[in-house]
């Protein structure tokens, strides 16, 4: 007998005990009415969302204290599989006590992680991640109903992997900064494609507008075109010498060209930027490039970690292995 004593066989080994408990004994299943709202001096919000890929649907009820925009109660009705019930039940519980603007930030990964028995063991098999995605989408619909806006109001990025909530901009940035060459590497760095795999290539669980195989191909093509342009620009500047032999002005032009083509666009996606302060050569022939982060990059912890190493790696590969990047 598998864990949870629900059914013979190993299928339930892929579901956490929390998921099994919520499938059979959901805590927040039911409905809220205008009478409930009046009794608590709150506004009743009702939102519906259905997943075309599997036919599941969920209805979410909120009671919202309009004076504070706080969700004081939440219930749901789910029309679908047991995983949809467990995900919706977890989602409703996570909403209670949060302001509407806080609730809309609850992602499908938050729902899935809240159902785990162990922090590093997924609560459901990959093909069932779409159920927690549906929970996220109905929250967005409820918030839109409350605020009188479209659900798209809460989306400021194109989401490629719904399961892991990974955006197109993030995937392209990671490919560029880490010089990724395979879909497997994209999944390793971002978790995109790690769950239902619909976003990896056509023919998965559901159709997607963007697929990792195409994003990788197109981004690598852009990178190669930019590399060729940089080389052409260097010749236009008359800089046929090796980078280490250029004058400071020549080195500055070359560094600016690489940053403009491969680094600055990625930083600007997140509201950041950088400027080159100085270029110096030490006695060991190391070329120190001093930079200052601007905007959102200023004070960011990764500015001295992952982002810094990525910038340095791009400059070393494009110009000279002797380059060191020094943030000030």
User: Would you name the residues annotated as active-site residues?
Assistant: 54, 131
H-only helix segments in the chain: 17-24, 34-39, 82-95, 100-103, 108-114, 129-147, 168-178, 183-190, 212-236, 248-258, 264-269, 306-318
Tokens representing 180 are 């990724």
- Between CA 208 and CA 206 the distance in angstroms is 7
- SS3 (DSSP) at 120: coil
Name the one residue in this structure whose structure tokens are 């023919």. 203
Tokens representing 72 are 């004081």
- SS3 (DSSP) at 126: helix
Determine the Cα angle at 327 with ends 325 and 328, to 5°.
140
């Amino acid at each position: 007998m598998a864990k949870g004593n629900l059914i013979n066989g190993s299928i339930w080994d892929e579901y956490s005990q929390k998921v099994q408990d919520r499938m059979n004994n959901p805590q927040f299943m039911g409905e809220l009415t205008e009478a409930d709202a009046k009794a608590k001096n709150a506004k009743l919000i009702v939102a519906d969302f259905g997943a075309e890929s599997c036919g599941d649907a969920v209805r979410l009820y909120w009671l919202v204290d309009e004076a504070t925009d706080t969700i004081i109660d939440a219930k749901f009705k789910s029309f679908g599989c047991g995983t949809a019930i467990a995900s919706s039940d977890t989602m409703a519980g996570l909403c209670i006590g949060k302001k509407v603007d806080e609730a809309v930030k609850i992602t499908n990964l938050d729902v899935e992680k809240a159902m785990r028995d162990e922090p590093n063991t997924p609560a459901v098999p990959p093909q069932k991640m779409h159920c927690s995605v549906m929970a996220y989408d109905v929250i967005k619909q409820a918030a839109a109903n409350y605020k009188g806006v479209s659900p798209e109001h809460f989306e400021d990025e194109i989401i490629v992997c719904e399961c892991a909530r990974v955006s197109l901009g993030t995937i392209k940035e990671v490919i560029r900064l880490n010089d990724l060459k395979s879909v497997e590497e994209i999944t390793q760095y971002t978790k995109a494609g790690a769950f239902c795999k619909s976003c990896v290539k056509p023919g998965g669980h559901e159709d997607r507008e963007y697929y990792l195989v195409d994003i990788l191909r197109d981004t690598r093509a852009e990178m190669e075109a930019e590399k060729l342009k940089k080389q052409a620009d260097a010749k236009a500047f008359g800089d046929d010498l090796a980078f280490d032999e250029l004058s400071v002005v020549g080195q500055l032009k070359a560094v600016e060209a690489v940053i403009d083509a491969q680094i600055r666009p990625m930083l600007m996606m997140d509201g950041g930027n950088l400027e080159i302060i100085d270029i110096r050569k030490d006695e060991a022939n190391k070329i120190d490039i001093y930079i200052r982060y601007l905007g959102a990059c200023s004070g960011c912890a990764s500015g001295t970690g992952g982002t810094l190493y990525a910038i340095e790696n791009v400059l070393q590969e494009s110009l000279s292995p002797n380059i060191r990047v020094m943030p000030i």
